A = this chain, B = another copy of it.
């Protein structure tokens, strides 16, 4: 029989892949420094050992909630150096968002720069 075409796996940019890899490494570094085994971290996250391994290896298909949860547990700072600052940041950004347009519309008429 003919080899069936695979469903064409999703592709990711280098920047995206590297960012995920950095996060995975950070989790692994902090986990080891805190002397936790992969299985122990998995239990704390409430996930399987397999998943923690994939997160640490930078698998882009992992749920972001699980990855961030693992990061939080081993003490990897996310966007801000500590928890209270993160909360402040959230409020600041909410404020900023309030000032921006709610939706983005394309120009009705093309910009006329041809006269």
Chain A residues packing against B (C-beta within 8 Å) = 10-23, 25-26, 28-29, 31-33, 35-37, 40, 46, 60-69, 71-73, 78-79, 83, 86-87, 89-90, 93-94, 96-97, 100-101, 103-106
Which residue in B31, B72, B93, B104 is a CB contact (below 8 Å) of A19? B72
Q: Let me know if A93 and B26 touch, CB within 8 A.
A: yes
Could you tell me the distance in whole angstroms from the C-beta of A18 to the nearest C-beta in chain B? 5
Number of copies: 2
| Complex Cα–Cα for A6 and B25 (A) | 35
Please name all residues of chain B whose beta carbon is closer than 8 Å to the beta carbon of A31 when the two chains form the complex: 104
Q: Are B63 and A22 in contact (CB under 8 A)?
A: no
Q: How far is the CB of A103 from chain B (nearest CB, A)?
A: 7
